[in-house]
């Protein structure tokens, strides 16, 4: 509850206003009537569907579509047709229908189909059904079968399909996988094929977005997986999504280690510096000092730019003396530092507003130079 | 039930207070982008608790012939009519997405779909054509936009005007002329629903498309113009609230208008959000003067609480003297003042982190107790 309330807290005026619009428009003549409840609406949809289907059966009229029996064979044939059509919309639709139908089967049957399936799209659908089953009954053996396939199938397209299935349901998230034990994202993120790694990154990204940086277990998990990743692009892609508002001391230390690591790619270090800018008040001081020290060491330009932004985000106006002290280190970044200082002098209390003010200042400077 | 996708770019209005209540109680209504994009606002979204009713046996239908029926643009109207008659919502959603794919970036295809929308008489059919067209890349093309705007100007045809206003919501930005035509269409719309479509469209495009204060001002002024011309309380409130949420600092002219809302709006939620907008978007010295004046003029306790907090949002530790003054005028705020003072003294900076520290501790009950009275209910 707390997490949900906080998530709403970071949403703002437009969200609220749009919601009001929605309510107001409900009161109008259109759409669902104001007094019709959601429950009534759901019942109504079912009734519509039944009536519509009955009519299309009884009338025997010529239509572009014909009602088919909802068998698994039909759903699989549709999935293959969707896959051939090249239409993403068709694929998503056929996948949904397949998941619905397979979900009605006994678990054992789904498991044996899953083991024997070779088409990545069908495999993804069956994987989603298994995730649903796991979410419903907590049967760890089901999850183990999924994870084993994600790790051991010889075909990267099939491994990626299973990882995508893991992300398509609310559970299991990365943290739940870890709690379960056995294969976790740590292992999957080291897959030799980039499409599998990308699927892991996408799943973690969804977890992070859902918690908006305020669930320590989520950022902690993402950091751990980032650390496990061996491909620099993958590690950076995860770090780019991490925020550390509620992170523990050891998580902050992990992020710092990725900034400091010898031989780390510039992209990883840039992403680590950006993530460090989001630390909460409890870790502000030591993180700030560490970032200033890193700036003084030889660094690629993009890392320095990210460090400056992080310094600003941690200390706001109190960062001005430190920023001024850093000006002599790299003459080419003096305009960047001055833009930040100009923005900070405006006194804004939101980082997003500071960024806007900084960009505005830079645009004005560019215009003046021309 | 987790919320998968938070609308981005909304983090700026971090605060305690009214939007918290609104957001927590109403957030479920805007659960996904798809619903926000749906031009005909089919809220409320199904309640997760109703999932036991969502028996797949009753709601899954299977069809043959989909590949042929969705192969090209010309086959779509027939398929869509069939889907609507069948009552299969999932099929309808698929066909809408498929139609968007088929339009792609082709202006001629987009014009064809717009013509179908124009010719259609059923509300549901129009909604599908409108949603599919709005989501397509071709909707951004100038000649397509021109035709949609022209349809939005037809006041006589309420149904199609509403659809056209909704299609425009996906535009990346509005130039001067397009914006003033949309404002005129919204301001002169005969139906309250169409006023709301215009307001939502302008607000959404503003959020996405304006960067500088001067650029945002056009949209804000447009929204406030619709508010000024509207006889509907709901439209006025919505337009005022959205106008105050622009993603840039206010120009002096807009600041004057927002200050007016803060001073004069009969609606407490509009005053509450106007105070927040002043705090985040006005130069600090000016913001503090306006908030101080508004605090003393304000009669409603909870709006006073909001204004008190907004001083922190505006000025951080520099706002403490004014907060102290407010707390001595309104002793209930004393405890909150001490918390703010302690937080800033410990070196915490930035409003987001202050909120993190004080969340659940400052007058949350003020917001919660009021949750029974939601602004939407005034319009019902």
A301–chain B nearest CA distance, Å: 26
A97–chain B nearest CA distance, Å: 7
Per-residue pLDDT of chain B in tens (380 residues, 90 and over written 9): 222 222 222 222 323 233 333 332 232 222 222 233 333 333 223 333 333 444 545 568 999 999 999 999 999 999 999 999 998 999 999 999 999 999 999 999 999 999 999 999 999 999 999 999 999 999 999 999 999 999 999 999 999 999 999 999 999 999 999 999 999 999 999 888 899 999 999 999 998 988 778 888 999 999 999 999 988 888 888 888 888 877 777 888 888 988 998 998 888 888 888 898 899 888 899 999 999 999 999 999 989 998 999 999 999 999 999 999 999 999 999 999 999 999 999 989 999 888 878 866 776 666 544 443 444 333 32
Cα separation, A36 vs B212, whole angstroms? 43
In a domain, B296, yes or no: yes
Q: Which domain does B348 fall in, by range?
A: 283-380
Nearest to A3 by CA among A187, A207, A188: A207
Residue pair B274/B262 in contact by the 8 Å Cβ criterion: yes
In a domain, B349, yes or no: yes
Give the number of beta-carbon pairs within 8 Å between A and B. Answer: 349
Determine phi and psi for A3, rounding to 5 degrees: -60, -40
Could you report the predicted ipTM of this complex, rounded to two decimals? 0.78
Q: How far is CA A194 from CA A83, A154, A232, B264, B315, in A?
A: 21, 14, 11, 59, 47
Q: pLDDT (tens digit, 9 = 90+) per residue, A69-96?
A: 999 999 999 999 999 999 999 999 999 9
Which residues 279-308 of B are in CB contact (within 8 Å) with A?
Answer: 280-281, 283-284
Residue among A32, A49, A87 minimizing CB distance to B59: A49
Q: How many CB atoms lie within 10 A of CB B222?
A: 25
Q: Are strands B62-64 and A66-68 parallel, antiparallel or unpaired?
A: antiparallel
Token pair 């006589």 is at which residue? B156
Determine phi and psi for B123, rounding to 5 degrees: -55, -45
Sign of the CA dihedral with A71 first, then A77, A80, and A86 last? negative
Residue A352: its chain B contacts at CB < 8 A? 11-12
Residue pair B193/B162 in contact by the 8 Å Cβ criterion: yes
A7–chain B nearest CA distance, Å: 8
pTM value is 0.78
In a domain, B351, yes or no: yes
3-state secondary structure of A68: strand
**A11–B11 C-beta distance less than 8 A:** yes
Binning pLDDT at 50, 70 and 90, where does residue A261 land? confident
Q: pLDDT (tens digit, 9 = 90+) per residue, A282-339?
A: 999 999 999 999 999 999 999 999 999 999 999 999 999 999 999 999 999 999 999 9
Q: pLDDT (tens digit, 9 = 90+) per residue, A105-132?
A: 999 999 999 999 999 999 999 999 999 9
**B379–A24 C-beta distance less than 8 A:** yes
Q: How far is CA B13 from CA B127, B279, B310, in A?
A: 32, 10, 11
Measured CA angle at A309 (ends A308, A312), to 5 deg: 90
Nearest to B61 by CA among A34, A163, A97: A97
In a domain, B237, yes or no: no
Residue A101 contacts B where some CB pair is shorter than 8 Å: yes
In a domain, B334, yes or no: yes
In a domain, B37, yes or no: no
How many structural domains are present in chain B?
1
Q: Checking phi first, is residue A60 left (phi over 0); if not, alpha (psi -120 to 50) or beta?
A: left
Higher pLDDT, B3 or A47: A47
In a domain, B319, yes or no: yes
Residue A57 contacts B where some CB pair is shorter than 8 Å: no
Interface test with B, best of A349, A357, A358, A360 (most B CBs within 10 A): A349
Which secondary-structure segment (H or E) carries A83?
Answer: helix A72-85
In a domain, B188, yes or no: no
**B42–A28 C-beta distance less than 8 A:** no
């Amino acid at each position: 509850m707390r997490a949900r309330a906080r998530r709403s807290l970071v949403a703002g005026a437009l969200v609220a206003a749009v919601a009001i619009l929605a309510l107001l428009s409900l009161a109008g003549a259109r759409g669902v009537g104001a007094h019709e409840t959601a429950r009534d609406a759901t019942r109504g949809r079912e009734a519509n569907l039944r009536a519509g289907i009955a009519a299309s059966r009884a009338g025997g009229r010529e239509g572009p579509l014909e009602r088919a029996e909802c068998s698994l064979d039909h759903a699989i044939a549709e999935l293959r047709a969707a896959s051939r059509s090249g239409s993403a919309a068709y694929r998503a639709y056929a996948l949904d229908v397949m998941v619905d139908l397979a979900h009605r089967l006994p678990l054992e049957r789904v498991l044996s189909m899953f083991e024997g399936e070779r088409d990545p799209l069908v495999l993804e659908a069956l994987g989603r059904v298994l995730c649903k089953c796991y979410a419903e009954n907590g049967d760890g053996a089901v999850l183990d079968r999924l994870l084993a396939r994600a790790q051991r199938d010889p075909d990267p397209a099939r491994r990626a399909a299973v990882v995508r299935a893991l992300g398509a349901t609310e559970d299991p998230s990365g943290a739940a996988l870890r709690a379960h034990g056995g294969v976790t994202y740590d292992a999957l993120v080291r897959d030799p094929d980039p499409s599998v790694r990308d699927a892991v990154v996408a799943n973690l990204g969804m977890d992070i977005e859902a918690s908006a940086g305020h669930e320590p277990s989520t950022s902690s998990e993402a950091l751990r997986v980032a650390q496990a990743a061996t491909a620099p692009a993958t590690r950076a892609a995860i770090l780019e999504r991490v925020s550390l508002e509620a992170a523990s001391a050891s998580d902050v230390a992990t992020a710092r280690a990725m900034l400091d690591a010898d031989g780390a790619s510039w992209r990883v270090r840039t992403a680590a510096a950006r993530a460090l800018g989001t630390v909460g008040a409890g870790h502000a001081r030591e993180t700030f000092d560490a970032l200033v020290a890193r700036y003084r060491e030889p660094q690629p330009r993009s890392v320095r730019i990210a460090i400056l932004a992080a310094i600003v985000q941690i200390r706001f106006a109190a960062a001005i003396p430190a920023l001024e002290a850093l000006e002599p280190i790299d003459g080419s970044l003096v305009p960047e530092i001055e833009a930040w200082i100009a923005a900070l002098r405006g006194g804004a209390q939101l980082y997003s507003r500071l960024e806007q003010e900084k960009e505005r200042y830079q645009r004005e400077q560019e215009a003046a130079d021309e | 039930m987790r919320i998968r996708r938070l609308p981005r770019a909304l983090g700026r209005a971090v605060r305690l207070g009214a939007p918290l209540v609104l957001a927590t109680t109403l957030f479920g209504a805007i659960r996904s982008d798809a619903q926000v994009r749906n031009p005909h606002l089919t809220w409320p979204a199904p309640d997760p608790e109703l999932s036991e009713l969502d028996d797949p046996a009753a709601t899954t239908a299977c069809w043959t012939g989909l590949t042929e029926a969705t192969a090209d643009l010309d086959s779509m109207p027939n398929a869509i009519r069939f889907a609507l008659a069948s009552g299969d919502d999932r099929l309808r959603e698929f066909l809408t997405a498929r139609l968007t794919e088929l339009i792609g970036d082709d202006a001629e295809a987009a014009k064809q779909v717009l013509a179908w929308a124009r010719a259609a008489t059923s509300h549901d059919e129009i909604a599908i054509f409108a949603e599919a067209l709005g989501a397509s890349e071709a909707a951004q093309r100038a000649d397509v936009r021109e035709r949609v705007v022209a349809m939005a100007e037809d006041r006589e045809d309420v149904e199609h005007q509403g659809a056209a206003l909704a299609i425009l919501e996906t535009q990346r930005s509005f130039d001067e002329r397009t914006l003033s035509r949309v404002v005129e269409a919204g301001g002169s719309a005969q139906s309250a629903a169409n006023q709301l479509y215009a307001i939502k469209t302008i607000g959404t495009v503003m959020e996405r498309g304006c960067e500088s204060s001067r650029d945002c001002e056009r949209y804000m002024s447009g929204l406030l113009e619709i508010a000024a011309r509207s006889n509907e309380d709901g439209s006025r409130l919505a337009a005022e609230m959205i106008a105050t949420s622009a993603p840039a600092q206010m120009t002096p002219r807009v600041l004057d208008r927002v200050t007016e809302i803060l001073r004069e709006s009969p609606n407490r939620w509009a005053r509450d959000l106007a105070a927040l907008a002043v705090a985040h978007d006005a130069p600090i010295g000016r913001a503090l003067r306006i908030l101080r004046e508004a605090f003393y003029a304000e009669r409603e306790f909870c709006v006073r609480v909001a204004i008190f907090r907004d001083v922190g949002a505006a000025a951080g530790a520099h706002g403490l003297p004014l907060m102290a003054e407010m707390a001595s005028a309104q002793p209930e705020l004393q405890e909150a003042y001490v918390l703010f003072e302690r937080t800033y003294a410990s070196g915490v900076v930035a409003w987001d982190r202050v909120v993190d520290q004080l969340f659940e501790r400052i007058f949350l009950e003020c917001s919660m107790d009021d949750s029974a009275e939601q602004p939407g209910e005034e319009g019902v």
